[in-house]
Chains A and B, each alone.
Chain A
């Protein structure tokens, strides 16, 4: 590997994807035609806007057809200090997309000396989803959620995407993945405009519980192995993943409530 330098006319600027293409490592090559083998798919994630920021949560299960292929997938990750990305869809391309997205944000920051705006980051992710469209047509769909704290508005903001790279800013909450129907219904019933961060965490966990309860591809809290969904908050202090102990106690309360029904 050598130090690549570009002329003034063909400099890729802060665009890491373009740099990869120039280096012959272009991402998102469409898969060959024909039948695809079953590949792991990751499932349900939710994001909820609350006072002072956002809460993002996702289960840990990946499935290939009817089989559980991974129990410890990390579908909710920090994109940078003030934003999070949650993914559903084909696990391989999805994890690659997240890695590229994190790199792109950091690369831009280093080259330009300033961070991308939150809107700019959402737009960048939408370009990545769009680049994945040929693969999506063959079953390798990736549908992320992007959420972050916007210093310009002083509030949390959330976006969801469709396979074509369509980018939609949502006002209150969003869910993605195979259990999204159930998760979104649970959030819709519990959502209020004055939701605080603690209540939003409980609501996100409840949404994941309902999704896991009704959708076989969504994993619930795994008490036997001590594996819990990932719940993270993004606020003025940045991205923070809740520790497993706190998530565990939240789910224990949900279990108690369910038992009392």
Chain B
């Protein structure tokens, strides 16, 4: 019988974290920030069918970076969780905090117990009744949950994007200004992102029950011109 080599837990965690980080940084990053009517999410995404940003529930949106199939499974699980909870209790009982904790559980379980950790980072955004109640939960590849205010960035190079967002973020900005700030923050060095490579969606306080709306590519072009 062969004995497995002893690997110190510190080393194992580090290896797994490096593996997950490497997978995530291969994909493009994503930014979310508050604007005058709610929360806008901007992702660099050349595909118009494989979405990074999606609707979970009336006031909750999901955004993921990293391996598409992995975060898409999490998205579907989130929609199911929210719809089941809303069906069993009331639509008002579905909140982002509960969902973020569930995601954290699944992701941290995979990080420590499964063959390979999930190569994803996700963002769960909830639109409050006023801007002060808006919530942004950033969930890392190891299950760490970070409750962020005003804006958030996930994916490779998120630190740099976050600091650029910090400079450009203006409270109560109009949609066009917020999208511009996000795009400028996502652009690194001389690299410019063309508007047909952008995926933009909002959670908008407009009185509709379902607050999630996609901004179609044509409108993105108008906004950025």
- CB distance B84 to A20 under 8 Å? yes
The answer to the question of B25 belonging to the interface, with a C-beta cut-off of 8 Å to chain A, is no
Given the complex of chains A and B, what is the CA–CA distance between A136 and B56 in angstroms?
Answer: 34
Given the complex of chains A and B, what is the CA–CA distance between A19 and B77 in angstroms?
Answer: 11
Contact with A along B36-60 (1 / 0, CB 8 A): 0000000000000101001110000
- CB distance B78 to A16 under 8 Å? no
The answer to the question of A246 belonging to the interface, with a C-beta cut-off of 8 Å to chain B, is no
The answer to the question of A23 belonging to the interface, with a C-beta cut-off of 8 Å to chain B, is yes
- CB distance B103 to A3 under 8 Å? yes
- CB distance B56 to A1 under 8 Å? no
A180 CB to closest chain B CB (Å) equals: 31
Contacts of B85 in A (CB 8 A): 1
The answer to the question of A107 belonging to the interface, with a C-beta cut-off of 8 Å to chain B, is yes
Contacts of B84 in A (CB 8 A): 1, 4, 19-20, 23, 25
The answer to the question of B106 belonging to the interface, with a C-beta cut-off of 8 Å to chain A, is yes
- B77's partner among A4, A99, A107, A113 (CB-CB below 8 A) is A4
**A5-B77, A103-B83 known; A113+B51 contact, CB < 8 A:** yes
Given the complex of chains A and B, what is the CA–CA distance between A23 and B84 in angstroms?
Answer: 8
The answer to the question of B68 belonging to the interface, with a C-beta cut-off of 8 Å to chain A, is no
- CB distance B76 to A3 under 8 Å? no
Given the complex of chains A and B, what is the CA–CA distance between A111 and B76 in angstroms?
Answer: 6
Contacts of B54 in A (CB 8 A): 110, 113
Q: How many residues of B contact A (CB 8 A)?
A: 23
Contact with B along A24-67 (1 / 0, CB 8 A): 01000000000000000000000000000000000000000000
The answer to the question of A2 belonging to the interface, with a C-beta cut-off of 8 Å to chain B, is yes
**A3-B102, A3-B103, A3-B105 known; A25+B88 contact, CB < 8 A:** yes
The answer to the question of B19 belonging to the interface, with a C-beta cut-off of 8 Å to chain A, is no
Given the complex of chains A and B, what is the CA–CA distance between A1 and B49 in angstroms?
Answer: 31
Contacts of B87 in A (CB 8 A): 20, 25, 99, 103
- CB distance A107 to B103 under 8 Å? no
**A2-B102, A3-B103, A25-B88 known; A19+B51 contact, CB < 8 A:** no
- CB distance B80 to A4 under 8 Å? yes
Contact with A along B101-134 (1 / 0, CB 8 A): 0110110000000000000000000000000000
B96 CB to closest chain A CB (Å) equals: 13
Measured CB to CB, the residues of A under 8 A from B are: 1-5, 16, 19-20, 23, 25, 99, 103, 106-107, 110-111, 113
**18 further A-B pairs in the complex, CB-CB below 8 A; given A3-B77, A25-B88:** A1-B81, A1-B85, A2-B105, A3-B81, A3-B102, A3-B103, A4-B84, A16-B83, A20-B87, A23-B84, A25-B84, A103-B87, A106-B83, A107-B79, A107-B83, A110-B54, A110-B55, A111-B79
Q: List 23 A-B contacts (CB under 8 A).
A: A3-B81, A3-B105, A3-B106, A4-B77, A4-B80, A4-B81, A4-B84, A5-B73, A5-B77, A16-B83, A19-B83, A19-B84, A20-B87, A25-B84, A99-B87, A103-B86, A110-B54, A110-B55, A110-B56, A110-B83, A111-B76, A111-B80, A113-B51
